Copies of this chain bind each other. A is one copy, B any other.
Amino acid sequence: MGLRERKKLKTRVALIDAALDLFLEQGYESTTIDQIAAAVDVSPRTFFRYFGSKEDVALAPATDAQDVFLSELHDRPGTESPFTALAQAMRAAVALLRDGEPEDKQRFLKARQVVEATPTIFAGQMRLMLANEQRILEEVARRRGADDLRSQFVTATFTSTIRVGLENCTLEELSDLDGMTKRLEDTFALVDELMVAGWDR
């Protein structure tokens, strides 16, 4: 990896960190692009060369996490039922974050705080999840061998499950990964309890 590429990655991370800190400190709305750029010593124009919008920088960690999830999903064995594969991929993605660089974990949790505290960003996260859902649907349809209403329902149920699990973390003010994992498991268990056997086949 050349110097240029390393510098770019460094700038990107610096922008995210500076932005998240400012958002947490003084709120998302009252933080300007100029402030973020100044904190990293780049021009405001450069900010927009790294992120398409102010919202994007706040959602960058979530976006990266989704990519990890999708990658894990593709690695799941084909024998697993669709929802099992989704749940396992989720567990794997969380585990990767838990055992990874502390800074990455820190950044991810900070980003979650910002998302929770800012309705605009929260809506943006939904937009992300929906865009992702399209790609998840492909995988579910592949495993079920049918791109129909039922595949859509399985996919939507997974999205809902994650959403409900994360919302509960917010309610209980859980900001650590272990707490998040527990809530997710509770919700997965509820799905198991309320769905008929083989519902996702």
Contacts and interface: CB of A to CB of B under 8 A. Distances in A.
Interface of A: 119, 122-124, 126-127, 130, 149-150, 152-153, 156-157, 159-161, 163-164, 167-168, 186-187, 190-191, 193-196, 199
9 contacts: A123-B127, A123-B130, A126-B127, A153-B160, A156-B161, A156-B164, A159-B160, A194-B199, A196-B196
A102 B7 CA distance: 60
A159 B160 CA distance: 9
Contacts of A194: 150, 153, 195-196, 199
How often does this chain occur in the complex, in copies?
Answer: 2
Given A126-B130, A195-B196, A153 B164 contact: yes
Nearest to A183: B149
8 closest A-B pairs (Cβ-Cβ)?
Answer: A123-B127, A156-B160, A194-B199, A126-B126, A160-B160, A152-B164, A156-B164, A196-B196
A15 B161 CA distance: 39
A161 B199 CA distance: 15
A28 to B, nearest CB: 15
A121 to B, nearest CB: 11
A156 B163 contact: yes
Nearest to A167: B152
Nearest to A150: B190
B149 A187 contact: yes
Nearest to A186: B149
A82 to B, nearest CB: 13
A192 to B, nearest CB: 10
A161 B149 CA distance: 10
A122 B152 CA distance: 18
A139 to B, nearest CB: 17
Nearest to A197: B196
